[in-house]
Structure 1
Amino acid sequence: MKVRSIYELDQQRDEIVGEHKYMQVVMARGLTDPWKQPIFVDFDKKITKSILNELLEELHKINYHVVACVSDCGGGNMGLWKELEISVAKTYYLHPVSNEKVYFFADVPHLLRLTRNWLIDNGFILEDGTLITKQPIEMLIRNTSSEVLAKGGLHDHPSPLESLYRLCMILLGKNPGLVQKQTNVQVEEENEFLLTTAIKKARIQCSNIPEPDQGISTIEEIGSEISEGSFTSSSESSATNISEKDGLIYIAGYLAKKMKDKYPDLGKYTYKIKESMHTYI
């Protein structure tokens, strides 16, 4: 694994450590049990056949039977595989003590990265001669990414949370057809719109309702009727609304506080009044 390349002082040994680029770690672990233990650590050193044999011998002394080795496909490990003559036809080498087969495997994450690189660089040829390249994936990414960016307008560098919101808008809303022509969700036509429900709950009544034979009024006619006060609300009252009165008191107090130095005769602060003037207190 790669480490930060700096010089450090080991106070216990009174020596300078560094400058190293990589740390080499070998771990022993159970084949079926969730157990693992580092058994070798060094810096800027590749695992060779002699080092591996020494490790296997020490593990054999404590009755730890090694049946397989797993590593990535880096240059140093590939050199070890070549030294041990590991290939597609021969995937093992013999234990230095027990002379049993020790199999070698490439780790899955590195295999996935190599598969990605092979697909991007050359593509795959199937048995029937079909060539699979990166172009379909590029088209899909291009279409999807453009749709995600379009959800944010000119802000083309969204944060992680904004990216999730944009994806939700694409997956749950009606898309413009860049990815597919079908809608992602099914709209229930029998449901009422929010505005219609709000107007019904407000109980707004119209005093001049036209007869069916009078036809439908135009927008201008409806606007003139509204301006003339033809609509009345059952919740209207001749008295001033309580919340409006409290709001006026609050605004008047704010203005009086701002102008107190210029007009000292405005009075004293409301917090000095024993009885509150507000109805909500």
Structure 2
Amino acid sequence: MVGYFIQPQILGSENINTPTVTIAAPIRNRAWILPVYLQHIHTIDYPKERIELLFVVNDSNDKSFDILNKFKKENKHIYKNIRIDLYNRNTPEDKRDVNVRNNFIYDHLSKLRNYIMSKTKTDHLMYIDTDILVQPDIINNLLKHKKDIISGLIWNGHITCPEKPYLYPNIMKLNSKGYFEHIVSNQVKNAPFLSSPTIMEVDLTGAVILLSRKVYKSVKYGFHPQGEDAYFCKMAQDKGFELFCDLSVFSNHIMSPEYLREFLNETKNDCLC
């Protein structure tokens, strides 16, 4: 099991004006990736005394809660706060079945995300789903754009289309029929190699997204046949907010234990080069 990095930080007056950020995620049966996920969260290059962590464990029957509590015990003195809540709703497990998602999962996730927003008090809320491994500079890179809603980019096609996962990014546009469709472009395809900020306005995004306080206090999640993010983004636009993605802020979407093993092996080999 991957260990946790513990990096004591010295509190200084230079951080007083640094925005506070809550990093949050609903968590269910993620023991297979949580140590690696937490390692990536912990190496984010941002003052930890300005970061709160909020994890909502729901209907888990693995060691997720124990892993989170171990992390909290080892690092609670470093962060502004680490909160781990239990919110069990006896919801069927998400196995990417359309009927289960429409009848249970999207509504369930909406309630969990709305719960998180109700408990957040910081300047910004950043959702980072637990199967996403972020880069250390993600908060700084997104904050500098001064947008109320801005996401990083991930590819969701590792299972559906493993040879071309970039065909299913987490950014979408609303088409003439009122249906959200994935944005596919050379910039999206080459996102891991972009060296400078590349901002794109979108109609739908999520999974790794930074929200200002005025957004997360006024916009809610709810059921939509294309997912709870679609409901949230539509409501945000209806309230006058614009949505953006910085394509250069790319994170790895680890969609299965098999892909995690492959990713860790590739990372290890890269380090040995």
Shorter-chain TM band: under 0.3
* Rg larger for: 1
User: TM-score of the superposition, structure 2-length normalised?
Assistant: 0.21
User: TM-score of the superposition, structure 1-length normalised?
Assistant: 0.21
Question: Would you tell me which structure has more strand in proportion to its own residues?
Answer: 2
